[in-house]
Amino acid sequence: MINVGVLGATGAVGQRFVQLLADHPWFNLQTLTASERSAGKPYGKVVNWRLDAPYPDNVSDIVVTPTTVESLKDCDLVFSALPPEVAASLETEIADAGIGVCSNARSHRMDADVPLVIPEVNPDHLGLIDVQRDRGREGFIVTNPNCSTIVLALALAPLRSFEFHDVRVATMQAISGGGFAGVSAMDIYDNVVPYIGSEEEKMESETVKIMGSFDGSEVTPASFGVSASCHRVPVIDGHTIAVWVDVKEPVAEVKKVYANFKSPFSNLPLQPEKAVELLDPPDRPQPRLDRNRGRGMTVSVGRIREGLRFVALGHNTIRGAAGASVLNAELICSRKYL
Ligand SMILES: NC(=O)C1=CN([C@@H]2O[C@H](COP(=O)(O)OP(=O)(O)OC[C@H]3O[C@@H](n4cnc5c(N)ncnc54)[C@H](OP(=O)(O)O)[C@@H]3O)[C@@H](O)[C@H]2O)C=CC1
Ligand SMILES: N[C@@H](CC(=O)OP(=O)(O)O)C(=O)O
């Protein structure tokens, strides 16, 4: 068992980490951190559990610590659900102190020597851990992408066998992406908000890093362009995206590559049977009906039409956040980086 901690364990993503790690077969969850406001009290007393999954009683007595390097001395690996402004310097300090960091925060995603990984799409980019170690870092930072970007990159991955240059995407993003305090009811009820700060820029830059090529020392971004328009909609969980991509092959060929898309792994505990699932009914995918496929780790794709046009959907706080980080950590362990 590998000793792990969750940074920012009381928040929306932190709670998802706790849910996924409380009974994990490889990870022993022993440290939970939060802000000074919550530190010093048992997790069961400070957490306001708001997930649609049962609260795991076995973590109740863990005393929440402040988020400092000293409080992580017994951890081999930590999962970060910290606000980005806190994550920026703290994750660096933690990795430099010899601890592995699997981060969900945006702060280091575009750093040249930090892998931005989706296991089924670019597992080879984990080689950037060696680049970090070659410059003397004892631990590492590995990041997972932005939640909408994960849905897009997984939906594009099967299309890599075709040529394309131009990807356009419009998102319909759930309110849980903004955190517990993120979007007020008055803003979102009976409404659509056509702005999510820097989300479009992240989708455009992160997608080409993820789908770029790694030569053992650096990542060269993919050569296609991405143009994104992002919108907040009154859905609790599940980001839906409409995608246009200039693939010329017939729809029947495209459906075949989706149906045949296989994960390159079979031994990771959180890996779903299908990373991408093709749905036939003309009115799917839908967030309420499809976000929990594969325990929230499957991206559903449907409405494939010539052009090429399609719709994809993924659970934003599981596949798009905490689940993405945990799957990355499982891959890191299976590759013996820990
Ligand atoms: N992959 C993705 O796209 C997604 C990424 N995220 C990212 O995950 C991170 C967490 O988001 P979310 O869970 O929604 O945020 P929340 O606001 O719900 O939770 C924040 C957590 O951080 C703790 N915290 C706040 N300030 C400090 C501080 N100064 N020092 C230490 N801990 C602190 C809070 O503790 P306390 O309760 O004590 O205040 C809480 O545990 C963010 O970086 C966010 O951008 C989020 C959604 C999806
Ligand atoms: N911006 C995302 C959530 C998020 O925090 O993304 P990021 O980790 O890329 O900042 C959303 O609102 O749905």
The alpha carbon of 13 and the centre of ligand 1 are apart by a number of angstroms equal to 7
ipTM: 0.96
Global pTM reads: 0.97
Give dist(CA 152, CA 240) in Å, integer.
10
Residues 202 and 170 in one domain: yes
For the chain, what is the domain count? 2
Question: Do β-strands 309-314 and 225-229 pair in parallel, antiparallel, or remain unpaired?
Answer: unpaired
Say which CATH number the domain at 60 has.
3.40.50.720
- 3-state secondary structure (DSSP) of residue 209: helix
The alpha carbon of 81 and the centre of ligand 1 are apart by a number of angstroms equal to 5
Residues 172 and 306 in one domain: yes
- 3-state secondary structure (DSSP) of residue 308: coil
- 2 beta partners: 27
The alpha carbon of 147 and the centre of ligand 2 are apart by a number of angstroms equal to 6
First to last CA, the chain: 11
- Do 261 and 326 contact (CB within 8 A), yes or no? no
Residue given tokens 């052009």 in the structure block: 307
Residues 140 and 178 in one domain: no
Residues 83 and 204 in one domain: no
Quote the pLDDT of residue 180.
Answer: 83
- The whole domain housing 85 covers 2-145+321-334
Residues 154 and 68 in one domain: no
Residues 201 and 56 in one domain: no
- The closest residue, in CA terms, to atom 12 on ligand 2 is 177
Residues 139 and 151 in one domain: no
Quote the pLDDT of residue 210.
Answer: 98
Which residues are known to be catalytic? 147, 239
| Ligand 1 contacts CB of residue 153 (under 6 A) | no
Quote the pLDDT of residue 311.
Answer: 98
Give dist(CA 11, CA 162) in Å, integer.
40
Quote the pLDDT of residue 266.
Answer: 86
Residues 93 and 29 in one domain: yes
For each of the chain's 338 residues, which pLDDT tens digit applies?
999 999 999 998 999 999 999 999 999 999 999 999 999 999 999 999 999 899 999 999 999 999 999 999 999 999 999 999 999 999 999 999 999 999 999 999 999 999 999 999 999 999 999 999 999 999 999 999 999 999 999 999 999 999 999 999 999 999 999 988 889 999 999 999 999 999 999 999 999 999 999 999 999 999 999 999 999 999 999 999 999 999 999 999 999 999 999 988 889 999 999 999 999 999 999 999 999 999 999 999 999 999 999 999 999 999 999 999 999 999 999 999 99
- 3-state secondary structure (DSSP) of residue 211: coil
Give dist(CA 322, CA 35) in Å, integer.
19
Quote the pLDDT of residue 221.
Answer: 98
For 185-206, give the DSSP string.
HHHHTT--B---TTHHHHHHHH
The alpha carbon of 167 and the centre of ligand 1 are apart by a number of angstroms equal to 30
Q: Cβ < 6 Å from ligand 2: which residues? A: 106, 146-147, 173, 177-178, 196, 199, 202, 316
Residues 171 and 237 in one domain: yes
Residues 108 and 166 in one domain: no
- The closest residue, in CA terms, to atom 7 on ligand 2 is 146
Residues 136 and 267 in one domain: no
- Do 191 and 234 contact (CB within 8 A), yes or no? yes
